[in-house]
Amino acid sequence: MARGAPTPTLAALALVLAASSVALHLCASSAASTPTTGRPPVAPGLSYGFYKRSCPQAESMVRRFVHDAVLKDVGVAAGLLRLHFHDCFVQGCDASVLLNVNGSGEKKAQPNLTLRPAAFKAVNDMRDLLDKACGGPVVSCADILTLAARDSVGETGGPRYEVPLGRRDSANHASVADVTAALPAPFFKVPAMLKILSNMNLSLDATDLVALSGAHTIGLGHCTSFEGRLFPQADPAMDAAFAAHLKQVCPAMGAPGTTPLDARTPDRFDNRYYVDMISRQGLFTSDQDLFTHAATRTVVDSFAKSQKAFFRQFALSMVKMGQIKVLTGDRGQVRTNCEAPNPRAVLPWSVVVEDAADSFVI
């Protein structure tokens, strides 16, 4: 599903650099980064320099891979970003979404049926490349997902930021029922989504919800994800012209079409998603309700006005999301094949390289 090449990132980069006074460590490139006033809390066992000694080229290799992949197919960026979200919200960021044991696993759950095959393939390709470069399976699949999501954001024009690493992979996947319960549905309203966030053992709040939903600035939705807003009658919360346009893409229930999540700049990571909301052109109820609901409306307004504010909060919220129920140290494993648990005899190769100065308990 190749679409146009991503637009240049320079303007976005300039905005990000201008945001360097914020409490988050944003960087233009890993080589030239300058620490700012602080970093978000880091879960015990994770650290920013985790692969510094065991595989120093890991981050640059993932970044190069994502750069090339996104040039060929910008949709891979959306696919990788969503994969990280679907990993973290279900049982924590442990790469369980990738497990494919005897044809069972989280992939079978309804919300995961539309995860992009190209994103799964990209993770496997990165696994192979990293194994060769690092002399074995040093970098966990969960960290590959984290880095690939981060770089997908940067490569489509969004903020560049650092992520703490050191996650380990789970040997077990969640049940289909657990996946469905853990992931918010597109017809959810704000209270239902906040309830899901409150189950994450992290202080993810309404601001995080609005910022993370901004990931819908790139990527596609299938008609089946929003047709309930078109039939039998168009949702009154939706702009009438937008509803008419969507009915052309999805003429009846069950139509096979897709449409961009952000109608204004579909392939560019920017703050236009929030302008869509204010214009009542959000695709899902879960998007539009962020503007309808009093608890989140002012945050939507502020992100629509300031891309800088959105980028800063998005990076912070992603670092938080990336630490949901992580496995570290001797818990979990570094899977040699991201799609299968290690055979019992295989010990994880990775070593814990923790920079105590970077670690704070959340």
Within residues 160-189, the interface with ligand HEM by CB under 6 A covers 184-186, 188
Which residue, chain included where needed, has tokens 């759950």? 109
Asked if 169 contacts 327 with a C-beta cutoff of 8 angstroms, the reply is: yes
Site string for ligand HEM, 98-137 (x = CB under 6 A): ----------------x-x---------------------
Choose the catalytic residue: 25, 84, 86, 293: 86
User: Measured between alpha carbons, how far apart are the two ends of the chain, in Å?
Assistant: 40
Question: 67 catalytic, yes or no?
Answer: no
Candidates 193, 194, 316, 334: give the one binding ligand HEM (CB under 6 A): 193
List phi, psi (to 5°) of 268.
-115, 130
Cβ-based nearer residue to ligand HEM, 96 or 213: 213
The structure tokens listed for 58 are 């890991």
Cα within 13 Å of Cα(221), Cβ side: 24
The DSSP 8-state label assigned to residue 259 in this structure reads: E
| 85 belongs to the binding site for ligand HEM (CB under 6 A) | yes
Asked if 197 contacts 208 with a C-beta cutoff of 8 angstroms, the reply is: yes
The residue type of 318 is: M
| 221 belongs to the binding site for ligand HEM (CB under 6 A) | yes
Nearest by Cα to 19 from 163, 152, 158, 151: 158
Cβ-based nearer residue to ligand HEM, 232 or 256: 256
| 82 belongs to the binding site for ligand HEM (CB under 6 A) | yes
Q: CA 50 to CA 323: how far, in whole Å?
A: 14
Contacts of 190 (CB under 8 A, 6+ apart): 206, 209, 289, 290, 292, 293, 295, 296
| 313 belongs to the binding site for ligand HEM (CB under 6 A) | no
| 291 belongs to the binding site for ligand HEM (CB under 6 A) | no
Contacts of 10 (CB under 8 A, 6+ apart): none
CB of 137 to ligand HEM, least distance (A): 26
| 159 belongs to the binding site for ligand HEM (CB under 6 A) | no
The structure tokens listed for 105 are 């696993």
Of the candidate spans 5-13, 207-215, 341-349, 354-362, the one that interacts with ligand HEM by CB under 6 A turns out to be: 207-215
Which residue, chain included where needed, has tokens 């024009």? 157
Of the candidate spans 38-46, 81-89, 156-164, 336-344, the one that interacts with ligand HEM by CB under 6 A turns out to be: 81-89
| 63 belongs to the binding site for ligand HEM (CB under 6 A) | no
Rg from Cα positions in the chain: 20
- How many residues of this chain interact with ligand HEM, rule: CB under 6 A? 26
Other Cβ atoms within 10 Å of 306 Cβ, number: 16
The structure tokens listed for 192 are 């239902």
Q: Which residue number is nearest to ligand HEM in terms of Cβ?
A: 219
CB of 250 to ligand HEM, least distance (A): 11
In DSSP terms, which residues pair with 26 in a beta bridge? 161
CB of 195 to ligand HEM, least distance (A): 12
Candidates 12, 78, 165, 194: give the one binding ligand HEM (CB under 6 A): 78
Cβ-based nearer residue to ligand HEM, 137 or 219: 219
| 225 belongs to the binding site for ligand HEM (CB under 6 A) | yes
Cβ-based nearer residue to ligand HEM, 98 or 134: 98
Cα within 13 Å of Cα(117), Cβ side: 2
CB of 157 to ligand HEM, least distance (A): 14
Binding positions for ligand HEM, rule: CB under 6 A: 75, 78-79, 81-82, 85, 114, 116, 184-186, 188, 193, 212-213, 215-216, 218-222, 225, 261, 284, 286
Active site amino acids = 86
